[in-house]
Amino acid sequence: MQTACRILQFIRTALTDMVWPRCCPACGRTLTQREACLCISCIYRLPRTQLHQSDFNELHHKLGSHTRIDKAMAWFWYYRGNDLTSIIIDAKYHDTPRLIRDAAAEYVGELTDEGCNPASFADLTVPVPMHWSKRIARGYNQAEWIADGIRRACGLPIAHCLEATRRHRTQTRLSAVERRKNLQGSISLRRPDIVAGRRILLVDDIITTGATMIAAVEALAQGNPASISILTLGAAKKI
Ligand SMILES: [Zn+2]
């Protein structure tokens, strides 16, 4: 059944590409059927983190949460001046969430090739929630599109069990400590029964200071999951 769906999807993409050719958003080259988010040469140029290869890495260190984080991984480093990574992260501002979803699926493909398929260490994907007022303004939550990309690539089911209970003030001018204080208690666990005893993969588009991710991790921990891992597309880095 799954194979038949893949074949149908392949044919549909091929036909759509014939009528409306897709272009790489970074270099403008026409994408082939097998290229989903960026062309293969742009994908190759992404500054990969390879964080999945380490049991305790920069993200564990940055988050420094009270709750133990099992695996922590991000596809690429995100820094000022790198146009390629900005195209993926900024897609949420340009109303192109499909790019984010396809990037997540691409990342999972790479992880699988390197023996780190998310389905081998997680039972459920949980998107970091967005406050309802922000969601209405944007029209979607990019973390949910990432979870969908992961589901398409490795079949992990999605659980919408976290809720952003209050909209925090803008964080751009706050220090890392102020951001954590600003976000404390801003996310709550709506369905503890879903996460109890399960291995959770918490997903978002980017980690900057990690304040949002920590708030989500602490909320998830209230449900006594077997483990919590985190996955993002970008991880901010100062260079
Ligand atoms: Zn390209």
Tell me, what CATH number does 56's domain have? Answer: 3.40.50.2020
Residue 21: what pLDDT? Answer: 76
106-147 pLDDT, tens digit per residue, is: 999 999 999 999 999 999 999 999 999 888 888 899 999 999
Max distance between CA atoms of the chain, in angstroms, equals: 53
Same domain, yes or no: 4 and 52: no
| Separation CA 119–CA 98 (nearest Å) | 22
Residue 3: what pLDDT? Answer: 64
Same domain, yes or no: 9 and 111: no
| Separation CA 203–CA 211 (nearest Å) | 14
% of the chain exceeding 70 in pLDDT:
85
66-83 pLDDT, tens digit per residue, is: 889 999 999 999 987 788
Same domain, yes or no: 192 and 79: yes
Q: DSSP readout, 87-107? A: HHHGGGGTT-HHHHHHHHHHH
| Separation CA 49–CA 239 (nearest Å) | 14
Residue 7: what pLDDT? Answer: 66
Residue 123: what pLDDT? Answer: 98
| Cα-to-centroid distance, 33 and ligand 1 (Å) | 14
- What average pLDDT does this structure show over 217-231? 96
| Cα-to-centroid distance, 112 and ligand 1 (Å) | 23
**Averaged confidence pLDDT in the chain:** 88
Residue 2: what pLDDT? Answer: 56
HSE value, Cβ hemisphere, 13 Å, CA-based, for 170: 2
| Separation CA 132–CA 237 (nearest Å) | 29
Whole-angstrom distance between the N-terminal and C-terminal Cα of the chain? 47
| Cα-to-centroid distance, 132 and ligand 1 (Å) | 35
| Token pair recorded at residue 41 | 């040469």
% of the chain exceeding 90 in pLDDT:
59
| Cα-to-centroid distance, 37 and ligand 1 (Å) | 9
- What average pLDDT does this structure show over 185-197? 92
Contact (Cβ atoms closer than 8 angstroms) between residue 65 and residue 221: no
| Cα-to-centroid distance, 27 and ligand 1 (Å) | 4
Same domain, yes or no: 176 and 66: yes
Same domain, yes or no: 17 and 53: no
| Cα-to-centroid distance, 185 and ligand 1 (Å) | 41
11-33 pLDDT, tens digit per residue, is: 666 666 666 778 898 899 999 88
* Overall domain count for the chain: 2
Q: DSSP readout, 170-217? A: P-TTS-HHHHHHHHTT-EEES-HHHHTT-EEEEEEEEESSSHHHHHHH
CA 175 to mean position of chain CA atoms = 23
Structural domain boundaries, residue 39: 1-45
- What average pLDDT does this structure show over 187-206? 95
pTM: 0.87
Same domain, yes or no: 8 and 122: no
Residue 92: what pLDDT? Answer: 83
Residue 168: what pLDDT? Answer: 63
| Cα-to-centroid distance, 90 and ligand 1 (Å) | 16
Same domain, yes or no: 120 and 183: yes
- What average pLDDT does this structure show over 43-65? 92
Same domain, yes or no: 155 and 225: yes
HSE value, Cβ hemisphere, 13 Å, CA-based, for 163: 8
| Separation CA 202–CA 194 (nearest Å) | 14
- What average pLDDT does this structure show over 157-184? 76
pLDDT tier for residue 173 given thresholds of 50, 70 and 90: low
Q: For the ranges 25-29, 104-108, 161-165, 229-233, which has the lowest average pLDDT?
A: 25-29
Residue 233, classed as helix, strand or coil, is strand
Residue 37: what pLDDT? Answer: 85
* Partners of 76 in the β-ladder: 48, 234
Same domain, yes or no: 203 and 230: yes
